[in-house]
Amino acid sequence: MARPRKCRWVEFEPGVTFFKPQGIPMRGLEQVVISVDELEALRLSDYLGLNQEDVAQEMRVSRPTVTRMLARAHRAVAEALVYGKAIKISGGDYQVTLRRFVCLDCEHIWDETGAPGTPKNCPRCQGYAIQRFSR
């Protein structure tokens, strides 16, 4: 029986999906591709500073999978920077998670998609006492 493909959980769909060196026409410009799940691994590991164990837990994959995704993404970014290639963020085997929050003032609970991070206000009472609702 075929092993089902492991779906990686990501918290957001990137708004910007193409980076291009300035002053080089698209024609003749080489590009590297990073998948959406690899970008999420970069965000969690390199930007937020999570260790690979925690990245694996957030994305619901094994730690060796995280190691492989990060190695691929690091190499692609390095290649683009060193050789002046464009970076395209596209594809991957992923599912966007809903992030659940709770307002400590009015106890309203809601789900967010879209940009990562914590929302500023409670959508019901406009309060600021917002916490991530743990799974």
> Of the two residues 29 and 129, which places its CB atom closer to Zn ion in the complex?
129
State in angstroms the smallest separation of the CB of 108 from Zn ion: 5
Residues at the contact surface with Zn ion, assessed by CB under 5 A: 103, 105-106, 108, 122, 124-125, 127
Contact 92, 38 (CB under 8 A): yes
What does the alpha-carbon distance between residue 107 and residue 94 come to, in Å, rounded to a whole number?
31
> Of the two residues 60 and 124, which places its CB atom closer to Zn ion in the complex?
124
What does the alpha-carbon distance between residue 26 and residue 84 come to, in Å, rounded to a whole number?
12
State in angstroms the smallest separation of the CB of 111 from Zn ion: 15
What residues are paired with 111 via a beta bridge?
100
> Of the two residues 113 and 126, which places its CB atom closer to Zn ion in the complex?
126
